[in-house]
Structure 1
């Protein structure tokens, strides 16, 4: 899946000479957490977060606070070294950037111009869709040898039952390079017939691992 498929294309921006008060108003009115700062060519030159604005604003608990601070230009508090991504980047690879850098959002640029924004919430929603957990389904986890052809071999058992597979995930089994875990989500609320078929075929089920149903 590509970034352009999940990014927000309508992005609220400010110029570097906008005031902190303007940023505060935009953040509250639009219920957003970040605002990219752009120049006249729509190049990203900075970014501010709700935390940046909050830290630069006078405390609401101090009635004598100097409100003139809100008239300072946003360039005085913006982060200038902005990491950006491209619309054709893979979402799975961008997830690593979010994790490693602990970012909450990333501007999306094409030919250096801002074309969208992607947030950690967008990423989480996407992975929910990719794993199929947003649909009514059942999950089956199978420990299999790490060898070529094992995935279609196991999938054939689901096919024999005419069971629709919503998603498939593959991840390592502990630290053993000889095995993998296949995670299938299937569109049925009664997975037991397939579970029994898998057991009879000799596969090691991790989930469900303690339920035995009648052969159907």
Structure 2
């Protein structure tokens, strides 16, 4: 899946000379948590979060009603430089950026111009779609030898029952690197016949551990 498939194209932005007060109003009005800061060429030169704005805002207990801090330019609190991604980047690879750099959002640029934005919520929803948990299904985990060609052999067994496969994921089998775990979600609430087919073919089913216990 590509970034362009999940990114939001309508992005609320500010210029570096806009005030912190303006950013505060936009965050509240649009119920967003981040605002990219762009220059006159639509290039991302910074980003501010709701936390940045809160930290820069005066305390509600202060008596200064003029709230001078809110008149400061947004460039005084923006984070720069900004990590960006391309619309044709793979979502799975971008997920590692969110994890490793602990980002909550990443602007999307093409030819150095802002074209969209993706947030951690977008990433989480995409993960739900990729794993197939958004549709009614049953999960089966099969332990297999880690060698080329094993995946089509296993999925061929699933094809005997003519059930739709919602998703297929492969994980390392931590106790022994010679094996992998193939996780398949199928659109049926009764996976027992498929489990029996897998066992008759000599595969070890890790989940469900007992027939009748569904995911």
Residue 106 of structure 2 corresponds to which residue in structure 1? Answer: 106
Residue 8 of structure 1 corresponds to which residue in structure 2? Answer: 8
Residue 128 of structure 1 corresponds to which residue in structure 2? Answer: 128
Residue 181 of structure 1 corresponds to which residue in structure 2? Answer: 181
Provide the TM-score with structure 2 as the length reference.
0.96
State which drifts further: 195-204 or 51-60: 195-204
1:20-35 correspondence runs (5 A): 20-35=20-35
> For the residues of structure 2 that align with 1:66 and 1:25, how far apart are their CA atoms?
16
CA contact (8 A) 1:58 1:65 kept: no
RMSD: 1.3
1:77-116 correspondence runs (5 A): 77-116=77-116
> For the residues of structure 2 that align with 1:183 and 1:169, how far apart are their CA atoms?
5
> For the residues of structure 1 that align with 2:42 and 2:20, how far apart are their CA atoms?
20
Structure 1 residue runs of 5 or longer lacking an equivalent are none
How far residue 52 of structure 1 moved from its aligned partner, in angstroms, is 0.3
Provide the TM-score with structure 1 as the length reference.
0.95
Residue 202 of structure 2 corresponds to which residue in structure 1? Answer: 202
- What secondary structure sits across from 1:42 in the alignment? coil
